[in-house]
Amino acid sequence: MDKTQVMVYFSLYGDEFSIDDVTEKLGITPTKAFKKGDLIPNRSTVCYRKETRWDLGTVYQVSLDVNNQLQQIIDKLQSKSLIINEIKESYSLKCKFFIVVKIEEGNPPALYLDKDIIKFAANIEAEFDVDLYANNYENDFSD
């Protein structure tokens, strides 16, 4: 039986900037990064990245509470809000938290943002993007 999975990542993104500089200033190695103009792999047609991006995220994890994955990322970034804001200012960047949920067997996770998450996101002016993928399941409602 497949179980519901959650992945969360934080992204600093913009036109063009030094990924190495951001990594050095934050003191955190990104889980993924790419530059504007990089080829997007595994596409049926040729596509290129439209922006440069520095990401810090989890892998998909079995979870019924999105906050478990959010907290893993925020724990690494929370003490760095001033640095994040300096980086954003230097390179004219934006930032966003992405929450990706694969719902299996009709079991959605809890999806709420506690006040500490909201406060941190507001401090760095981050947005949230939530993607939900509900896979087919059978549910017998008969008695």
Given a cut of 60, is residue 47 above it in pLDDT?
A: yes
Confidence tier at 2 by pLDDT (50, 70, 90):
confident
> Taking the alpha carbons of 122, 23, 78, 129 in that order, is the dihedral positive or negative?
positive
Number of domains in the chain: 1
Q: How far apart are CA 122 and CA 104, in angstroms?
A: 32
**Which pLDDT score, from 0 to 100, does residue 139 have?**
61
> Taking the alpha carbons of 115, 5, 93, 90 in that order, is the dihedral positive or negative?
positive
**Which pLDDT score, from 0 to 100, does residue 43 have?**
87
Q: How far apart are CA 111 and CA 63, in angstroms?
A: 11
- In the DSSP assignment, the letter for residue 78 is G
Residue-wise pLDDT for 53-110, tens only, equals: 999 999 999 999 999 999 999 999 999 999 999 999 999 999 999 999 999 988 889 9
Which residues have C-beta within 8 Å of that of residue 136, sequence separation ≥ 6? none
Given a cut of 70, is residue 143 above it in pLDDT?
A: no
- 19 is a domain residue: yes
- 139 is a domain residue: no
- 141 is a domain residue: no
- 140 is a domain residue: no
- 143 is a domain residue: no
- 142 is a domain residue: no
Q: How far apart are CA 66 and CA 76, in angstroms?
A: 16
Q: How far apart are CA 61 and CA 64, in angstroms?
A: 10
- 33 is a domain residue: yes
136 φ/ψ sector (left φ>0, alpha ψ -120 to 50, else beta): beta
Residue-wise pLDDT for 116-137, tens only, equals: 999 999 999 999 999 999 987 6
**Which pLDDT score, from 0 to 100, does residue 137 have?**
66
Q: How far apart are CA 46 and CA 99, in angstroms?
A: 27
Q: Taking every pair of C-alpha atoms in the chain, what is the biggest distance, in angstroms?
A: 63
**Which pLDDT score, from 0 to 100, does residue 136 have?**
74
- 98 is a domain residue: yes
In 3D space, the residue among 54, 63, 70 whose CA is nearest the CA of residue 130 turns out to be: 70
Domain that holds residue 78: 5-134
